[in-house]
Amino acid sequence: MLSGKRILLIIGGGIAAYKSLDLIRRLRERGAAVTPVLTRAGEEFVTPLSVAALAGEKCYRHLFDLTDEAEMGHIELSRAADLVVVAPATADLMAKMAGGHADDLASTLLMATDKKVLIAPAMNVRMWLHRATQRNIAMLRADDIRFVGPNEGDMACGEYGPGRMAEPLEIVAGIEAMMGDGPLQGRHVVVTSGPTHEPIDPVRYIANRSSGAQGTALARALRDLGARVTFVTGPASVPPPGGVEVVQIETARQMLDAVKTALPADAVICAAAVADWRVANASGSKMKKDGSGKAPALDFAENPDILATISQMKKGRPALVVGFAAETDDVVAHATTKRERKHCDWIVANDVRPATGIMGGTENAVTLISETGAEEWPRLPKDEVARGLAARIAAALGAGG
Ligand code: C5P
């Protein structure tokens, strides 16, 4: 898929730069050519020699390198590639991009390019969560800069949280999705997935058994058709796909906020198993037995219905809003009523009686309910159901035609 493509890879100054050496290898083994650019800070982490040796090409470093200007000026360098990738994208590089600075080779190339840009942020969790970085992220998103990662986990600095650079193969998946000529190229799709956790107190919560498998497969299939996917996921048991923008949330209300923040979108696919109720009187501290033998009384409040809310947006409603319905009886009748009640365009219904083995299994048998009626699909692996749905979504958006 990447054969014959050229990637301009800007390596910023972060410990994750070591992963970018592997990224170069992964790109080259897929047939891509890599033009490497190393920032001044990047040179503190990896050497120009390693970068050039792995890329098999000159490693560009300085803006005022007259030989380069004679051979290939910075304007041409920024445009000769099919895609610009920044990995690791440090807080400083992102701030420069958001502010339109051009005071070194990397930032000048980013200003001068007319190509799409994918960034793989990597930084300390506090720096990622800092208001300044979050402001810059919003600006970069508005400028249609694509993101892959960061992931959550242990950091080289000993802290834990979001800020780890995406793994090389996740970045490759993101690059492939952007370089492909799939029918959803240029389209933005939001997918909700997984369960939600509704707190009872700081250590307990109400949840459900959703694994997030179908939503994850769908996000991957949409990505493979070229869509920019925002994947809003609760604490699922399967890992999120690479090459999509992952937004991790816990509660239904956070999920709704994340979906709204991700808009505008061409389609929103609500595959999450959202808790219908949350604990209204959740305790701020751990609830304790008081010795009286009396169980605590939990009050419940209804959660917002994300699917219904997005479906009924007056302004900026996505062209296609799709819900899922897991039913145990009268699948088509219930799902048809649900489609009408929530005002979504399609409902993907399935029978989750334990005898079907669908819940938690690898296969799914769905009925696609739309304005024109119910269409029963054969039992298929969840990946194939996802690919079939992604193709239908592309067709409904009139994409690629
Ligand atoms: O009403 P029910 O939960 O069966 O509807 C399922 C569909 O509605 C799914 O697509 C699910 O993601 C969505 N939903 C939602 N917000 C809720 C409840 C369900 O988006 N609070």
Backbone phi and psi for residue 109, each to the nearest 5 degrees, phi listed first: -60, -40
Q: Domain map of the chain by residue range?
A: 6-181, 188-396
Angle at 180 between CA 139 and CA 307, to 5 degrees: 60
Q: Whose CA is nearest to atom 5 of ligand 1?
A: 325
State both tokens at 105: 């080779």
Whole-model pTM: value is 0.71
Distance CA 104, CA 85 (A): 16
Ligand 1 pocket mutation, candidates 300, 306, 352, criterion most atoms within 8 A of CB: 306
Backbone phi and psi for residue 296, each to the nearest 5 degrees, phi listed first: -70, 150
Rounded to whole angstroms, what are the CA distances from 81 to 7, 34, 59, 78, 179? 5, 9, 14, 7, 11
Is the CATH number 2.20.25.240 carried by domain 6-181?
Answer: no
Summarize pLDDT for 230-276 with one digit per residue, the tens.
Answer: 999 999 998 888 788 999 999 999 999 999 999 999 999 999 999 99
Ligand 1 pocket mutation, candidates 260, 274, 351, criterion most atoms within 8 A of CB: 274
Rounded distance from Cα 114 to ligand 1 centre (Å): 41
Summarize pLDDT for 81-99 with one digit per residue, the tens.
Answer: 999 999 999 999 999 999 9
Pairing of strands 363-364, 373-376: unpaired
Distance CA 348, CA 332 (A): 10
Rounded to whole angstroms, what are the CA distances from 73 to 49, 83, 109, 117, 214? 22, 17, 10, 19, 48
Q: How much is the pLDDT for 71? A: 61
Q: From the CB of 394, is ligand 1 less than 6 Å away? A: no
Q: From the CB of 324, is ligand 1 less than 6 Å away? A: yes
Pairing of strands 300-302, 277-279: antiparallel
Report the candidate in 347, 325, 170 with the shortest Cα–Cα distance to residue 245.
170
Distance from CA of residue 374 to its chain's centroid? 31
Which of 17-21, 225-229, 321-325 is the least confident region? 225-229
Give me the chain's average pLDDT, please. 91
Q: How much is the pLDDT for 82? A: 94
Q: Residue 200: is its pLDDT beyond 60? A: yes
What architecture is the 188-396 domain classified under in CATH? 3-Layer(aba) Sandwich (3.40)
Q: From the CB of 140, is ligand 1 less than 6 Å away? A: no
Question: Quick count: other Cβ atoms within 10 Å of Cβ 283?
Answer: 16
State both tokens at 392: 């239908």
Rounded distance from Cα 271 to ligand 1 centre (Å): 8
Annotated binding residue 298:
no
Rounded distance from Cα 276 to ligand 1 centre (Å): 8
6-181 with 188-396: one CATH topology?
yes
HEC letters along 310-322: HHCCCCCCCCEEE
Rounded distance from Cα 326 to ligand 1 centre (Å): 9
Q: From the CB of 274, is ligand 1 less than 6 Å away? A: yes
Summarize pLDDT for 351-400 with one digit per residue, the tens.
Answer: 888 888 777 777 888 999 999 999 998 888 888 899 899 989 999 998 65
- The active-site residue out of 59, 157, 270, 344 is 157
Annotated binding residue 286:
yes
Q: From the CB of 20, is ligand 1 less than 6 Å away? A: no
Annotated binding residue 307:
yes
Measured from the Cα of 192, ligand 1's closest atom is 12
Distance CA 339, CA 325 (A): 9
Query: CB within 8 A of 177, min separation 6: which ones?
Result: 223, 224, 226, 227, 228, 229, 243, 244
Q: From the CB of 210, is ligand 1 less than 6 Å away? A: no
Query: CB within 8 A of 399, min separation 6: which ones?
Result: 183, 184, 185, 187, 225
Annotated binding residue 276:
yes
Backbone phi and psi for residue 348, each to the nearest 5 degrees, phi listed first: -100, 110
Annotated binding residue 338:
yes
Q: Is 344 a known active-site residue?
A: no
Q: How much is the pLDDT for 401? A: 41
Distance CA 86, CA 88 (A): 6
